[in-house]
A and B are shown apart, each in its own frame.
Chain A
Amino acid sequence: MALPPDRLEAAHRALVERFGPDRVLTDFRDRMAYAYDATGIKYPPDVVVFPLSTEDAADAVRIAAHHGLPIVARGGGTNISGGTVPIRGGLCLALNRMDRILDIDPENHTATVQPGVRNLALQEALKPHGFFFAPDPSSHRVSTIGGNAGENAGGPHCLKYGVTVNHVLGLTLVLADGSVVRLGGPEQDRPGFDLVSLLVGSEGTLGIITELVVRILPLPAEVRTLLAVFDDLEVAMRTVSDIIAARVVPATMELLDRGTIEVVERFARAGYPEDAEAVLLIEVDGPQESVAEELDRVEAICRRNGARDLRIAQSEAEREALWLGRRAAYGAAGRLSAYVWTQDVTVPRDRLVEMLRACQAIGRKYGIRIISVAHAGDGNLHPLVAYDPQDADQVRRVKAADREILEACVALGGSISGEHGIGHDKLPNLELQLGPDLLGLMWSVRRAFDPDLRLNPGKAVAAPSRNV
């Protein structure tokens, strides 16, 4: 529902008075830059403000609250579930100028950052200290730490190191009424409920994160990367299980299916064999004393399971070359058509083959091509669908297939989102997984934090379909 012009005008005036014209965007063309994310849907905000501090963000929230504007926090805008699209207009809090690394504390293994710090910028700042920040979503060059926390982002290295929620220790938060609280911190076991975990992954619906204390980890002494080529998808997946069963927990086990390999080779020429049914990109890291042994075990398991080719990187350049195909997967898929729908489902690791097969069957049923990449060690599958949004029939079939993929995932005991979030896009499907009682509980939590539903409305959690 559009906001009354007089209310908008009053909000604009108050924001310009507080922040000055350089930090407030009202022009339509300027606002359109904040209208979309990687999903392709576009809804411009009514006004964009650039806070530089917690106090700025709190003031902006209070002004927006006073004038009844919805509020959407935005970092790098790389979200692929519509989480940062202002579907009801209102105020976009563009946090990308809050990009200062406030403290790197190697002694306590923590860093304190503003939310607009890019993931890669933090990694680069940590490297000279001998540390890294474990969450590394594919968007890490652009996405921000605040956005990573809002979405509880993952990445290829989750298998060993966990997702963002495992690495956020404390938050400074602006609540819906503009008040500021600090949650958690570098001190362990603070009394009270774990509100930090509640906030991480809440997609900006419970509060605006304006500062984070994150856990940083020492860089591993040794990293070894291996590409294994398989003629059978199920054998590749069995190899993943066998590696885990052999007490090896690699940092990464990425799987690309045949369709993805073909697309990647057409556009990126990573050197993956196009007739392979699957490749596994495996990375082990840790102390030198154990990495060589783990690599030997992985290699032996791959060979025992019939991997037709094994390539072990002998240098950083060779490691980058092996990663090239995996990193190019989304971009390459994007060249197949005007849009690529990136699905994100997770199932128990031992059900991943079933999930892959289900996706292929659904693709055949609806006459659409589905290719897949997976964080195989996590059971996290990303089916990719290239489609033309101008083709109404194709869009209808893609939507139907999408729903069936989610239904199949839930039937296998999985989650309809492993790392991309629910956002706007998956909200209608959330009840599939949660059921009305749990969804109702989450909805009540949301209302307890934001009674007027002002923070990122229409995202993450919805009211259940029946009254519970």
Chain B
Amino acid sequence: MPEGGTTAPQAILQPAGLDELARLLREARGGPGLAPWGAGSQWARWGRVPGAALDLRALPVEPRLSAANLTVTVPACWRLEELDALLAPHGLWYPIDTGDGGAATVGGHLAAATSGIRRTGLGPARDWVLGMRAVLADGREVRIGGEMIKNVAGYNLHRVLVGSLGMLAVLVEATLRIAPRPERHVTLRARFETPAAAWGALSPLRRRASTLVAAEWLRAGDGVEVLLAFEGPARAVDHQAAEAAREIRSAAGLAVPAGGGDGGAAAARGGDMAVYGGEGVTVVEGDAAAVLWDARRERLLSPAALRLRAGVRPSDLPRLWAAVAEVFAGRPWDGIARGYGGVVEIVVPAGGDAAGGDSARGEASRGAGQPGEAAGCAALVLDLRRRAEALGGYLQVRGALPGTVEDLPWTSASPDGHLHRRLKAVFDPAGVLAGAHFLLPEPAEPAAAAAAAAGAATARGIAGEKGGSAGGNL
């Protein structure tokens, strides 16, 4: 059964043990394909539902916490909030915030490689994965990696499974690195008149502020609001956040509210933090900070007719942002970007209005306000994809209501697409695990360098194979 626009899979298989899971996988050969199913949060964003899902909640797997080793082994079906409840009493945490309040499962989070806001400071999710237990498409169980911090025995397959979209194996257990909860969290909020001004002000900060773990941009009319999170040892956080506030306050292009106030959200602490609050920069912590980050999350997860992700070299983010604004001019859209990562999530609302700020409001009547109105977005997506690729980046559809992008591929064909296909064929030659296959790039023509190399060699009379897109292993 192909994916559709319904809200739940038509068939949900819930194995009670690994033997039954293996049997279900073997019996699924020749069928339409299965998809591991966790909380369904990613599928909800994609606007797709697998025809047949594997629900792993009945598998008997026990968590193992090793506080001395700073590792934890947990069932893939555990929600991240359950994991946090296990770790918090020990003063520990798994610091990846997947952006849905802990509702996602560990398995879903890893399969989708959701790295969250702290990717800036703490790296991608796969850097926090040490090992996995997985069941292959033919029913065999493998343990990859382990609880050791360093391991170079064989290929890094556990890292490959992170982000494998449920297409390579069924994750049943993961061993994760964990860390002490930070002593202090401080959030800075500021608004810039343009994305270029934001980059100009924030780029130098990153070099000095080792406790700066997150830097998110949110569309605010023609400009951007930025949220910066500082976490770590209290003295370092306080000092670096204060210094950052001081620098931002004097930056060109900072939008200072009338009267120089701090927007009313500040819960500035005493000492130097109070000094640098206000004048266009709000310094908050505790519940006030949580409010800001929750609001960001709600914007990211708001009902959408179309979700896009574009990525470029970080310093090209202002140009990418400008391209998005041009392409979606006159339509409602919201943008949430990883400021130092060069990745922007674009949300075209389903409900008529974008949270993206002032000038976006009122555009809904002309834009993609309802599913039907979103039809015809394919041309916009292609235009933006062309512009992102011209910057050396990419654009991927990350969610679309039926008819929104017609039959446009969600991901561009890629010169390394044949390697993805070969890997898929190794893990799952019978095509049992459909997963979120619509996100995997198709093979494209080989890179220009390959063609040049092939041409050079051929010119010298070498009867080699044609390089490149041999996706034929599938």
Which residues of A are found within 8 Å of B147, using beta-carbon distances? 348, 413
Judged by a CB distance under 8 angstroms, whether A360 is at the interface is no
Which residues of A are found within 8 Å of B144, using beta-carbon distances? 438
Which residue of the partner chain, among B157, B235, B440, B465, contacts A442 with CB atoms under 8 Å?
Answer: B157
Query: Is A218's CB under 8 angstroms from B207's CB?
Result: yes
Judged by a CB distance under 8 angstroms, whether A220 is at the interface is yes
Alpha-carbon gap, A293 to B416, bound state (A): 48
Query: Is A177's CB under 8 angstroms from B465's CB?
Result: yes
Q: Min CB distance, A156 to chain B, in Å?
A: 12
Alpha-carbon gap, A183 to B415, bound state (A): 9
Residue-wise, chain B 389-401 has the 8 Å CB interface mask toward A (1 for contact) of 0001110100000
Q: Min CB distance, A227 to chain B, in Å?
A: 23
Judged by a CB distance under 8 angstroms, whether A252 is at the interface is no
Which residues of B are found within 8 Å of A190, using beta-carbon distances? 311, 394
Judged by a CB distance under 8 angstroms, whether A372 is at the interface is no
Which residues of B are found within 8 Å of A59, using beta-carbon distances? 453, 456-457, 460
Query: Is A187's CB under 8 angstroms from B312's CB?
Result: yes
Judged by a CB distance under 8 angstroms, whether A120 is at the interface is no
Q: Which residue of A lies closest to B313 (CB)?
A: A186
Q: Which residue of A lies closest to B458 (CB)?
A: A62
Q: How many A-B residue pairs have CB under 8 A?
A: 311
Answer whether A294 and B160 are a contact pair too, CB < 8 Å, given A348-B66, A415-B151.
no
Query: Is B207's CB under 8 angstroms from A241's CB?
Result: no
Alpha-carbon gap, A349 to B151, bound state (A): 13
Alpha-carbon gap, A65 to B454, bound state (A): 13
Judged by a CB distance under 8 angstroms, whether A41 is at the interface is no
Judged by a CB distance under 8 angstroms, whether A389 is at the interface is no
Residue-wise, chain B 402-420 has the 8 Å CB interface mask toward A (1 for contact) of 0000000001101111011
Answer whether A178 and B180 are a contact pair too, CB < 8 Å, given A201-B152, A442-B155.
no
Alpha-carbon gap, A419 to B148, bound state (A): 12
Query: Is A172's CB under 8 angstroms from B422's CB?
Result: no
Query: Is B153's CB under 8 angstroms from A433's CB?
Result: yes
Of A174, A420, A434, the most chain B CB neighbours within 10 A belong to A434
Which residues of B are found within 8 Å of A201, using beta-carbon distances? 152, 155-156
Which residue of the partner chain, among A66, A158, A245, A433, contacts B68 with CB atoms under 8 Å?
Answer: A245
Query: Is B127's CB under 8 angstroms from A162's CB?
Result: yes
Query: Is B149's CB under 8 angstroms from A158's CB?
Result: yes
Which residue of the partner chain, among A195, A375, A377, contacts B420 with CB atoms under 8 Å?
Answer: A195
Q: Min CB distance, A360 to chain B, in Å?
A: 20
Query: Is A346's CB under 8 angstroms from B236's CB?
Result: no
Answer whether A421 and B462 are a contact pair too, CB < 8 Å, given A106-B207, A179-B454, A180-B446.
no
Residue-wise, chain B 438-470 has the 8 Å CB interface mask toward A (1 for contact) of 011100001101101110110010111101101
Residue-wise, chain B 108-136 has the 8 Å CB interface mask toward A (1 for contact) of 00000101000100011011000000001
Judged by a CB distance under 8 angstroms, whether B41 is at the interface is no
Query: Is A414's CB under 8 angstroms from B210's CB?
Result: no
Alpha-carbon gap, A65 to B467, bound state (A): 12
Residue-wise, chain A 420-463 has the 8 Å CB interface mask toward B (1 for contact) of 11100010001001110111011011101100000000001100
Residue-wise, chain A 185-210 has the 8 Å CB interface mask toward B (1 for contact) of 11111111111011011100010000
Q: Min CB distance, A297 to chain B, in Å?
A: 10
Residue-wise, chain B 70-94 has the 8 Å CB interface mask toward A (1 for contact) of 1100000000000000000001000
Judged by a CB distance under 8 angstroms, whether B423 is at the interface is yes
Q: Min CB distance, A217 to chain B, in Å?
A: 9
Question: Which size class do A's interface residues fall under?
Answer: 35 or more
Which residues of B are found within 8 Å of A378, using beta-carbon distances? 149-150
Judged by a CB distance under 8 angstroms, whether A109 is at the interface is yes
Judged by a CB distance under 8 angstroms, whether A289 is at the interface is yes
Alpha-carbon gap, A206 to B236, bound state (A): 44
Q: Which residue of A lies closest to B239 (CB)?
A: A289
Q: Which residue of B lies closest to A444 (CB)?
A: B426
Answer whether A439 and B416 are a contact pair too, CB < 8 Å, given A245-B68, A287-B210.
no
Which residues of B are found within 8 Å of A245, using beta-carbon distances? 67-68
Which residue of the partner chain, among B115, B151, B152, B416, contacts A181 with CB atoms under 8 Å?
Answer: B416
Judged by a CB distance under 8 angstroms, whether A364 is at the interface is no
Which residues of B are found within 8 Å of A416, using beta-carbon distances? 153
* Of B292-300, B338-346, B355-363, the one touching chain A: B338-346
Q: Which residue of B lies closest to A67 (CB)?
A: B462
Q: Which of A370-388 contact B (CB under 8 A)?
A: 375, 377-380
Judged by a CB distance under 8 angstroms, whether B233 is at the interface is yes
Which residues of A are found within 8 Å of B211, using beta-carbon distances? 287
Query: Is A179's CB under 8 angstroms from B146's CB?
Result: no
Alpha-carbon gap, A445 to B154, bound state (A): 11
Query: Is A166's CB under 8 angstroms from B450's CB?
Result: no
Query: Is B441's CB under 8 angstroms from A192's CB?
Result: yes
Residue-wise, chain B 306-348 has the 8 Å CB interface mask toward A (1 for contact) of 0001011111000000000000000000000010011100000
Q: Which of A281-297 contact B (CB under 8 A)?
A: 286-287, 289-290, 293-294
Which residues of A are found within 8 Å of B148, using beta-carbon distances? 346-348, 379, 413-415, 418
Residue-wise, chain A 288-326 has the 8 Å CB interface mask toward B (1 for contact) of 011001100000000000000000000000000000000
Query: Is A58's CB under 8 angstroms from B314's CB?
Result: no
Q: Which 5 A-B pairs have the closest CB atoms?
A: A179-B467, A58-B453, A197-B159, A290-B236, A290-B233
- Can you identify 14 A-B contacts, CB atoms within 8 angstroms? A54-B449, A54-B453, A58-B453, A63-B462, A179-B453, A181-B447, A193-B168, A200-B156, A245-B68, A247-B183, A415-B148, A418-B151, A433-B153, A442-B154
Which residues of B line the A interface, CB within 8 A? 66-71, 91, 113, 115, 119, 123-124, 126-127, 136, 140-144, 146-157, 159-160, 162-164, 168, 179-180, 183, 203, 206-208, 210-211, 232-233, 235-236, 238-240, 309, 311-315, 338, 341-343, 392-394, 396, 411-412, 414-417, 419-420, 422-427, 439-441, 446-447, 449-450, 452-454, 456-457, 460, 462-465, 467-468, 470, 473
